[in-house]
Copies of this chain bind each other. A is one copy, B any other.
């Protein structure tokens, strides 16, 4: 028996190896500060948990429609009206098993063997793997702080070829936390339409922006594929629940593909998520958002003392993407040393692409300020 060759192109997340090593060190008695994993440190808000428990008591343990509960799709449509003042029909919203399934669904609808999909480098590593899964080729667009780590219209226009079927964006991005500027989005929307390609926008960190609210791409592009999730802002990571907004006319094939790939998203999670938009839940989430903002601001002020360069203030997510070239020429080895020598777990740039990867690390501020301060103190002892 022979392993399929697609596995040659799917690298393991280094962050998972670091997490495993961190846990092994902890099991051996070491105190490790976790700044590596892309998951809020807050458990799911109590009103959502209570709704999940109630739904279980009421016997909501059966399959749902492949596209999700109509009540939840209507609640999401209402959320777009209320939060973004944008009209999205519930029929265009497909509830999925986390953003992972939403991403697979969008690319399964668009990518042919031989297709090319343009995406930023650095970016979330699974994006390029999902493109490869369907026989497509991910084409990396190197991005830096000059464009807030987002592709420019000129860059996309140059990279676009006859095999290109889609451009993928993320706002806020992972690992950089930056928003796509509104005027850049406008240019990219126009460009995708002119080229006859699809625009896919990952908005899973919406809600987790500081001092500014993110706009959905749907405001400018009703024909975009928008991926979102209950994982990050709503802090429902383990429940596995997300959604995909498809352009008008794409519902039928999207639901047909979802039916075959997933049957349906988890029913208890869907029932629980109905409580996600209640005022009591949103009050909790907004408090936590303020806490993330405090953490970001603390790190932005503290990390430069380590010699780390943070060329801009990222508006969102819970990541800082730091240039550590002043302290190392190999960020992967540096991350290993940080874990081994001072018990601080951070993620090397190599998890997110190739461009500048050895010069960068990602810090996830998914622990409180006191621990962040201790992490900075410990990392200071690594210098030189």
Contact = CB atoms under 8 A, between A and B. Distances in A.
Copies of the polypeptide in the assembly: 2
Interface residues of A, number: 73
A240 B266 contact: yes
Nearest to A59: B43
Given A61-B236, A134-B4, A257 B56 contact: no
A142 interface: no
A2 interface: yes
A24 interface: no
A5 interface: yes
Nearest to A40: B62
Interface in A274-314: none
A235 interface: yes
Given A53-B57, A112-B4, A238 B257 contact: no
Contacts of A2: 110, 165, 196
Contact of A256 (B12, B39, B57, B267): B12
Contacts of A47: none
B62 A253 contact: no
A197 B13 CA distance: 29
A266 B266 contact: yes
A374 to B, nearest CB: 22
Nearest to A58: B43
Interface in A206-253: 223, 235-240, 247, 250, 253
Nearest to A271: B238
A5 B261 CA distance: 16
A41 to B, nearest CB: 9
Contacts of A57: 49, 53
A42 B238 CA distance: 26
Nearest to A197: B1
Contacts of A223: 1
Contact of A268 (B5, B101, B238, B253): B238
Contact of A238 (B5, B7, B60, B135): B60
B267 A108 contact: no
A135 B109 contact: no
A351 B135 CA distance: 27
A198 B4 CA distance: 12
Q: Which of A60, A198, A238, A240 has the most CB of B within 10 A?
A: A238
Contact of A266 (B4, B10, B196, B239): B239
A6 interface: yes
Contacts of A198: 1
Given A43-B61, A61-B237, A238-B64, A10 B110 contact: no
Interface of A: 1-7, 10, 12-13, 16, 37, 39, 43-44, 49, 52-53, 56-57, 59-64, 66, 97-98, 100-101, 104, 108-113, 115, 125-126, 129-130, 133-135, 165, 196-198, 223, 235-240, 247, 250, 253, 256-257, 259-269
6 contacts: A1-B110, A7-B109, A7-B257, A39-B62, A53-B53, A61-B235
